[in-house]
Structure 1
Amino acid sequence: MSYLGRSIKRFEDARLVIGDGVFIDDIKLPDMLHVAVVRSVHAHARIRSIDVVDALELDGVVEVLTGSDLAGKIPNLPIRPMGDRSVDEFNPPEHPVLAQDKVCYVGQPVAVVVAKNPYLARDGAELVAVDYEPLTPVVNPVDAANEDVPVIHPHLGTNVAMRSVQEGGDIEKAFAQAAHIVRQKYQIPRLAPSSMETRGVIGNYDASSDLLTVWDSTQAPNQIKKYLAQMLGRPEESIRVVAPDVGGSFGIKDCLFSEDVLMPFLALRLQKPVKWIEDRQENLITYHGRGMSLDAEVAVDKNGVILGIRASILADIGAYFYFTTPFPLFNAARRITGPYDVPAVRVDLLGVITNKTPVAAYRGTGSPEAAFCIERTLDLIAKDLGLDPAEIRRSNYISKGAFPYKSCTGNMYDSGDYLLALDRALELVEYSAWQEKIKQRRPGDPYLGVGLATFIKSSGAGGEHRVESARVTIDSFGQVDVYTGVSPHGQGTETTFAQIAAETLGVDPSQVRVHHSDTAIYPHGIGTSASRGLIIGGSAVQLALQEAREKLAGFASKFFSCPAADIKFSDGEVFDLHHPDTKIPFEKLAAMESGLDFEHEYTLPQSPVSFGAHAVVVEVNQDTLALKILRYVGVHDCGQIINPMIVEGQIHGGIAQGIGQALIESIVYSEEGQPLTGSLMDYALPRSTMIPDLTLDTIDTISPTNPLGAKGIGSVSTVPSPAAIANAVMNAISPSGVRHIDAPYTPERLWRAIREHGTVDG
């Protein structure tokens, strides 16, 4: 029986649905103390003084720490290296764990209050009196690089944090030969990742063993351990980091935050366990994603074939860098060509510092921004030249026979059949029929629109993130244990890795235990990000399992007196494929030698590239401009699929987030740098009633880059969904004469655009 490609129910779900999951706030330790963080209420201000006397006098408050208390004890938060990503200018500001001398965004940690329960900690935090001298905030990223605006971090001498040019081909020749040039600027709003579970950290120090244990709602426990060792001046072996059940992340939990360092520091200092749990307001004002503008020019010939792309990208990165801050900007520039064969590109990218919350990776990490730019522009080209949006994509795709393909920005594409996926999406959405309905629409009827978006998404990241390790042990009873450095937060890793083991060793998946997210159990690995879990982590597991199989086949070959190549593992039994009537149970074979233990480190040689095509039909009420999605189709190429049900679940979630970005989500700031969307009363998240029935399919082009033939799936459906919806909306309201509107497509935004730039369709 084959276990690959089967929709086995997730092993993780049984305990989660009955409430037996253990999340960070479920962990209770004796004599545990609790922390509240005092945060800046100003976007830009000098700290004159901090008075903690009243807070310390509150009964139940144990400790109050400010930035001055940490001086010489904890260094600034580290910056993750850029790896093989080349940039011309890179100026990450020094990022203190607690603000010292000045604050640079609303929400920046200024002090921490430790108390006997979380309520007293909050009461104590309200008693901390910070005397601020307000400074002029820099809020508009367009102004940030100007010489006449304040420099937020004087030691840098500039508000330019990052500058680079990504180019290839002869861009001047491309534009000189163009029959038509389309220019359009796109503003991608800031978004809040808003995982169901917010962040949280617990530190506990056992002096008898000199062991510091940290429970952290993180994607990367081994990475947290490495950086804690550096910042706290302790050997790595004296630190254990555990990620319990993690309720989602979408990138926010792939960074090292002040609280990740402060809780272990306080546990060491106070010799008691210390817990901090982020509330939703903190979650909304301390980490953002997206937030960039793309100003694009695309040169085409008379048939709409792309000759060149020239673009400038301006990213508002906020006041500081988190680990993943540079990567969305870099990826957006490198991936702006999408799935198209573009001979010439020049992208100038600029990241600027502002007095806002830092921006870093959010599901897709630059790919949704790039896809929105090229996919909207293709629709504008089609409109100008009188072409069908599907046909202009067909005429520009990288052909099936061109793989492996290198884009002019240096990206490698491993495999794909883009036309096949597009044709399947058009068939499923009934593209021609909807186009005919749009033509037959009468004045006064609701607007109807159909939109397409196709995309690529490179997975696996770069540098050290291409490496992952795995260990497999088999005991004398046939129990298989898999250890991985991958740390899941909803991906179904325990199930898919068990399926890989079952397929390789011919056992039932229930016979396999998958261990993860605890550095004491397995002290190697990078974690889960960039859709790398299955591609790299799963490949390491597969290779360790193959070593185990070869070893066991050697035992069996002696038992059956046949070549090891003739040994077959199936349904919990082992036999000579030429004499299948004589079999031995797997556990009997495993008992022939004790201590079966296999470990393998795998390095991904090249990131596989996923592809997909989305097609959307929308209806817009002409009176209220309320928008409804009537049909949504997504066709994805994610390589070898281990568990189709898990893949479908990942796609559902990604599309839902894309719908949120397209229709309602946007972080808004005042001119003074105050966040106006600091709660879920103001920041809108998609509701279940907004998500239509989804029609999904897959085109499985096996990737040659890894042993499993897999491609990324975790982030891919988030990439095209905002662009597909945008194209459908603009197609729907095209009778009004409006050419482009930036998301989110709220009724008010549509009304304003039609009133100011369009005409009323009767």
Structure 2
Amino acid sequence: MGDGKLLVGRPVARREDVTLLRGEGRYTDDLTPDSAAHLVFVRSPVAAGKIVALAAAGAREMPGVLAVIDADTLDAAGVKPFPSPAIPPHLLVGDLHAPTFPALARDEVHHLGQPILAIVAETLAEAMDAAEMVDLEFEDRPANTDLTKAKGGPAVWPTASDNRIFRVELGDAAATQDAMDTAAHRVTRRLSINRVTAVSMEPRGAIGSWDAETGRYVMTSGTQATHRLAEAMAAQMGVPEGDVRVVSENCGGTFGMKNGGMPEYPPILVAARQLGRPVRWIETRSEAFLSDPQAREQVAEATLALDAEGRFLGLSVDVVAGIGAYANATSLLSSFNNIASVTGVYGIPAIRVAVEGVHLNTQTTAAYRGAGRPEASFIIERMIDIAARETGIDRVELRRRNMLQPEELPRKTALGYVYDSGDFPALFDRALQAADWAGVAARKQEAQARGKLRGAGLAYTIEIAGGPPAKPMPEYASATLSPEGCRLMLGTGDAGQGHDTAFAQIAADAFGLGLEKVSLFSGDTGVVPKGTGSFGSRSLGAAGSALVHVCEDLIAQLSVHAARHLDAEAEALTFGDGTFKLPGTNRAITLESLLAEDDLTVSAERWEATQGPSFPNGCHITEVEIDPETGEMEICSYTALEDIGKVINPLLVAGQIHGGIVQGLGQGMMEAIRYDEDGQLLTGSFMDYAMPRASDLPFFNAQTASVETASNTLGTKGVGEAGTVGALPVLSSAIADALAPLGVDHVTLPATPSAIWEAIRAARK
């Protein structure tokens, strides 16, 4: 650059947007070869039943049909079921029930939409026509789809007692019970969290091919974690690691949902090998509602114990999580792995948590933006609001009395997280001021004069990023410098976060290059040798820190070459603003000149983990107005202050926070996956599954308060989950505050106009 101005910390516009906005992005379907055959799935029309007849002869005889893949075909090809999920032994109480999870059903089906057959044809229309010719008959069985009745309902699996998959326990049960016994106040509440689905802009899909020369499969599919997906598919295909290459160019959203193996992928690869040509499957939106993993569904029984002054003494939480008929690699982890966030930013001395996962005749759940953090934060923040109502202590004051102070950090919480940095009280006060909390009462009065109920909600949340706590996962980064510029290679994938811009900013500053001189490549396990992936707000901390060290390694390499030009020892040189200098002299050479004059190409790589996880935290405040006659709600304002550590690009941060807030508010206001008692999906399209629109939302006042962490080289804490984690509890808080004059202290999510109106009607009775 040469102007001395650093790019890191500046709002650099996303470099990738020009291509994407012109419609020039390359998503999975865009990469379909002309020679590809087309695959469709025959899926179960019932949620629970035995297959008593399956006749595919008519389908095989249809024009254009190339193959019909069934469970026997997969067995003959050596395809294995999904590996059983694991739970750390020190957490597991009793047995883990993990039934065999096949790619295609053979004798029985256990949820609506379970794939049974794959039909491959020359064209999509021919494949769809052939699928209509498959004759299926079932012996129906009772379905179990209601989480509140799961334990006493029909058995999803005869081998699972009370439909239980697992039970994990954390914390100190004895100390928590002592806290309950000595408390002046005990507040107990049942809290439900609704089931949702990711609804990514780009539906799932995959293109499979077989490379006869290398003897390996190639799968093109949108994902944030190509290496993880390749590893999972190799295990399922029964081949060595490295024999499945995964390619992902642009990816139109995954939110964790696309990061692992799926039942649809093995049939695609088997068909590609059998036919010796590429095979393509792209799901329709209706199919996505049936086949995509879902998320979040929980019922929690929570008790918060307080002393007479409102100090928190203990917290007891029992969670029942609806997992689904089967469990994949992230299904179980999402329900309990981040439950320690239930501690919040408060000094709660004793906590015990138990989580039970149960089978339902539904699609399985999986990781979804936040993966347990929004649920945990929802529990603690709602319990604090309810405790404030019952004790008569102002909810702002109640939080202040229990909030950890900066001088108490680092602090190990009752559930084992170690908060290393932050100033929770200062950020809390700043958020209250930014949202004009002092003016809430006046705005309520003004709304009342118009016949509206106005409420203000607040939530202070914290979540783990870049874990797991004991041993963060490593990430890969490499850089190659040449006279043409700098080429970066990362093992973490981009699904819209802006990696091409943020990581280029880091490298451009490190080398003193213009941003246009830096290019980034990721998303191909055949080119990038290692990788973990983008999830849990880990990318910048893990890959960014590895990249910083790569840049340092390259500067050290080039110092030797620069020393020859400057007639000095390499150790005596300094480097900054793109130039090697010998202090005390006017001798200097720029990095670009050095590369050009010596025609140098130098490379370095790192595969390393951070020193520990980080803990993004922030305060969200929102105000809503409710029409008491209709239950209609308007979100009037929304303020979010987030401590995400060092900020690399404020524009990218704002985008992540805004997007996360919208996803959280969508779940809180309208999104819900619902099944009827027979397991049929009631929300199978956008006619029934509501999504937030711009008109449903206010402008967001999103700000950052950066307290850097020492857990990684960059000092960043992560921002991907923050908006979603805060949005869910703060919306519930505002709705409860608006309805407080009627005696309502909680509305079960999603808080649709109908649900709010029902709560108002019940209160008036």
- What's the TM-score, normalizing by structure 2? 0.95
The CA deviation at 1:485 is 0.5
Cα deviation digits, residues 483-517 of structure 1 (max 9, x gap): 11101101111111111111211211211111100
CA contact (8 A) 1:662 1:726 kept: yes
Q: Which residue of structure 2 aligns with residue 482 of structure 1?
A: 488
3-state SS, counterpart of residue 497 of structure 2: coil
CA contact (8 A) 1:216 1:260 kept: no
Cα deviation digits, residues 239-297 of structure 1 (max 9, x gap): 32101210001111112101222211211111111000011112112211100011100
Is 1:32 paired with 2:39? no
Q: Return the match for 1:71 from 70, 75, 85.
A: 75
Q: Return the match for 1:643 from 633, 642, 649.
A: 649
For residues 725 and 142 of structure 1, what CA distance do their matches in structure 2 show?
Answer: 24
Is 1:125 paired with 2:134? no
Q: Which residue of structure 1 aligns with residue 22 of structure 2?
A: 18
For residues 371 and 485 of structure 2, what CA distance do their matches in structure 1 show?
Answer: 39
Is 1:259 paired with 2:238? no
Cα deviation digits, residues 654-707 of structure 1 (max 9, x gap): 001111011111111111111100111110011111121000110101111111
Q: Which residue of structure 1 aligns with residue 165 of structure 2?
A: 161
CA contact (8 A) 1:474 1:590 kept: no
Residues 313-352 of structure 1 aligned to structure 2 (within 5 Å) = 313-331=319-337, 333-352=339-358
The CA deviation at 1:572 is 4.1
Distance 1:85 1:510, change over 3 A: farther
Q: Which residue of structure 2 aligns with residue 743 of structure 1?
A: 749
Q: Return the match for 1:289 from 295, 298, 303.
A: 295
Residues 270-669 of structure 1 aligned to structure 2 (within 5 Å) = 270-286=275-291, 287-331=293-337, 333-438=339-444, 442=448, 445-462=451-468, 466-475=473-482, 477=483, 479-562=485-568, 564=570, 567-576=573-582, 578-579=584-585, 582-589=588-595, 592=598, 594-669=600-675
CA contact (8 A) 1:702 1:710 kept: yes
| Segment of structure 1 superposing worse, 597-606 or 32-41 | 597-606
Is 1:193 paired with 2:184? no
The CA deviation at 1:738 is 1.3
Q: Which residue of structure 1 aligns with residue 219 of structure 2?
A: 214
Residue identity matched to 1:705: S
For residues 137 and 319 of structure 1, what CA distance do their matches in structure 2 show?
Answer: 11
CA contact (8 A) 1:254 1:323 kept: no
Is 1:173 paired with 2:178? yes
The CA deviation at 1:524 is 0.5
| Segment of structure 1 superposing worse, 6-15 or 435-444 | 435-444
Is 1:248 paired with 2:256? no
Residue identity matched to 1:177: T
CA contact (8 A) 1:478 1:586 kept: no
| Segment of structure 1 superposing worse, 165-174 or 375-384 | 165-174
What RMSD over aligned residues (CA atoms) do the two structures have, in Å?
Answer: 2.0
The CA deviation at 1:74 is 1.1
For residues 333 and 314 of structure 2, what CA distance do their matches in structure 1 show?
Answer: 24
Q: Which residue of structure 1 aligns with residue 101 of structure 2?
A: 95
The CA deviation at 1:156 is 4.9
Q: Which residue of structure 1 aligns with residue 683 of structure 2?
A: 677
CA contact (8 A) 1:507 1:570 kept: no
Is 1:731 paired with 2:729? no
Cα deviation digits, residues 733-756 of structure 1 (max 9, x gap): 111111211111111111111111
CA contact (8 A) 2:91 2:170 kept: no
| Segment of structure 1 superposing worse, 134-143 or 33-42 | 134-143
CA contact (8 A) 1:444 1:622 kept: no
Cα deviation digits, residues 622-671 of structure 1 (max 9, x gap): 33221111110000011111111001000010001111011111111111
CA contact (8 A) 1:203 1:264 kept: yes
Residue identity matched to 2:557: K
3-state SS, counterpart of residue 363 of structure 2: coil
Residue identity matched to 1:42: V
For residues 91 and 319 of structure 1, what CA distance do their matches in structure 2 show?
Answer: 11
3-state SS, counterpart of residue 161 of structure 1: strand
The CA deviation at 1:134 is 0.4
For residues 244 and 70 of structure 1, what CA distance do their matches in structure 2 show?
Answer: 28
The CA deviation at 1:571 is 4.7
Q: Which residue of structure 2 aligns with residue 704 of structure 1?
A: 710
The CA deviation at 1:387 is 2.1
Q: Where in structure 1 do 4 or more consecutive aligned residues deviate above 6 Å?
A: none
3-state SS, counterpart of residue 34 of structure 1: strand
CA contact (8 A) 1:166 1:333 kept: no
Residue identity matched to 2:481: I
Q: Which residue of structure 2 aligns with residue 152 of structure 1?
A: 156
Cα deviation digits, residues 220-241 of structure 1 (max 9, x gap): 1112222222232334444321
| Segment of structure 1 superposing worse, 708-717 or 589-598 | 589-598
The CA deviation at 1:724 is 0.6
Distance 1:625 1:30, change over 3 A: closer
For residues 242 and 85 of structure 1, what CA distance do their matches in structure 2 show?
Answer: 37
The CA deviation at 1:317 is 0.4
| Segment of structure 1 superposing worse, 634-643 or 254-263 | 254-263
- What's the TM-score, normalizing by structure 1? 0.96
3-state SS, counterpart of residue 253 of structure 1: coil
Is 1:268 paired with 2:273? yes
Distance 1:562 1:696, change over 3 A: farther
CA contact (8 A) 2:471 2:612 kept: no
| Segment of structure 1 superposing worse, 294-303 or 325-334 | 325-334
Distance 1:268 1:561, change over 3 A: same
3-state SS, counterpart of residue 376 of structure 1: helix
The CA deviation at 1:585 is 4.7
CA contact (8 A) 2:190 2:302 kept: yes
Q: How many residues align?
A: 756
The CA deviation at 1:83 is 6.0
For residues 284 and 388 of structure 1, what CA distance do their matches in structure 2 show?
Answer: 43
For residues 353 and 524 of structure 2, what CA distance do their matches in structure 1 show?
Answer: 42
For residues 265 and 591 of structure 1, what CA distance do their matches in structure 2 show?
Answer: 52
For residues 36 and 448 of structure 2, what CA distance do their matches in structure 1 show?
Answer: 68
3-state SS, counterpart of residue 351 of structure 1: strand
Distance 1:349 1:208, change over 3 A: closer
Residue identity matched to 2:706: D
Cα deviation digits, residues 88-136 of structure 1 (max 9, x gap): 2422221001011100000111111101111211111121111111011
Q: Which residue of structure 2 aligns with residue 9 of structure 1?
A: 13
Cα deviation digits, residues 693-739 of structure 1 (max 9, x gap): 00011010111111111112111110011111111111111111112
Q: Return the match for 2:236 from 207, 231, 236.
A: 231
3-state SS, counterpart of residue 230 of structure 2: helix
CA contact (8 A) 2:492 2:539 kept: yes
Cα deviation digits, residues 36-91 of structure 1 (max 9, x gap): 11111111000112110111111011111222332353110124544697322422
The CA deviation at 1:582 is 4.1
The CA deviation at 1:552 is 1.8
Cα deviation digits, residues 442-483 of structure 1 (max 9, x gap): 4662111111011001012328861111111112x1521111
Cα deviation digits, residues 535-567 of structure 1 (max 9, x gap): 111111111111112222333244334565664
Q: Percent identity?
A: 33
